[in-house]
C-alpha cells in the first residue's frame, strides 16, 4: 500500500486457522480413509493460501480505487508450488523461494505437441536458479530496499526481477 512519503508498506493477507483433519486409526474402515483424503485436500496450507490470495484480489477488484492496483504476494517455499502458481488471479504476482538446485523447464511450445510418441509435458531444460544467479551474461542492477526501517542493498535481475544480496 503506497504511503504519503513515497514508500510502501505490506499488508498481511490473513491470520487463518487451518487445522488438518484427524487421520483415522489403522483399524478404521476404508470409507473413513477415503473421507479423510477428500477432507485433507482442501485443508492443505497451500490450497488455503491460494484461496486467500484470490479473496484479497477479489476484494481489491470490488473497490473502484484499488481495482487497478497490482497485487504482489510473497510466500515461502511451502507456497511456491502448482497449487498456488497455477491459480493466480489476473493482476497478481507471486514471489516465492525455491531451492537453488531446482530443475526448471522452459514453456512447452506448440510445435513439440506434434512430435511422435507420448505427448511431452515439459519444454527444454532451463538453468537452475544458482546457474542463473552466477551467470555473468545476465544483467543485474543495484538497489536499496527499506524493510522495517532498515536499508538493505541488493541486486535486481533486469530480465526476471530476481534479487540477490
Q: Tell me the pLDDT tens digit for each residue of 46-66.
A: 999 999 999 999 998 998 988
Is the CB of residue 80 less than 8 Å from the CB of residue 98?
Answer: yes
- Which residues pair with residue 142 across a beta bridge? 155
Report the SS3 class of residue 139.
coil
Q: Quick one: what percent of the chain has pLDDT higher than 90? A: 36
Residue 33 clears pLDDT 80, i.e. is over it: yes
User: Exposed, middle or buried, 78 (CB in 10 Å: 0-12/13-18/19+)?
Assistant: middle
Average pLDDT of span 20-38? 93
Strand 92-96 with 71-75, pairing: parallel
- Predicted local confidence at residue 112, as pLDDT: 52
Beta carbons within 10 angstroms of residue 25's beta carbon: 8
Q: Rounded CA gap, 13 and 56, in Å?
A: 7
Residue 92 clears pLDDT 90, i.e. is over it: yes
Q: Rounded CA gap, 108 and 87, in Å?
A: 19
- The mean pLDDT of the chain is 83
Average pLDDT of span 75-100? 91
Amino acid at each position: 500500500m503506497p504511503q504519503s512519503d513515497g514508500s510502501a508498506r505490506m499488508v498481511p493477507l490473513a491470520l487463518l486457522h487451518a487445522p488438518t483433519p484427524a487421520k483415522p486409526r489403522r483399524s478404521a474402515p476404508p470409507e473413513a480413509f477415503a473421507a479423510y483424503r477428500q477432507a485433507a485436500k482442501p485443508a492443505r496450507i497451500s490450497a488455503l493460501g491460494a484461496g486467500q490470495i484470490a479473496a484479497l484480489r477479489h476484494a481489491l477488484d470490488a473497490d473502484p480505487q484499488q481495482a487497478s492496483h497490482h497485487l504482489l504476494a510473497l510466500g515461502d517455499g511451502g507456497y511456491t508450488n502448482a497449487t498456488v502458481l497455477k491459480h493466480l488471479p489476473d493482476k497478481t504476482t507471486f514471489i516465492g523461494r525455491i531451492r537453488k538446485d531446482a530443475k526448471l523447464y522452459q514453456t512447452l511450445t506448440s510445435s513439440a505437441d506434434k512430435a511422435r510418441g507420448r505427448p511431452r509435458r515439459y519444454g527444454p531444460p532451463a538453468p537452475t536458479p544458482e546457474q542463473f544467479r552466477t551467470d555473468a551474461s545476465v544483467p543485474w542492477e543495484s538497489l536499496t530496499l527499506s524493510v522495517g526501517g532498515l536499508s538493505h542493498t541488493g541486486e535486481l535481475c533486469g530480465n526476471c526481477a530476481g534479487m540477490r544480496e
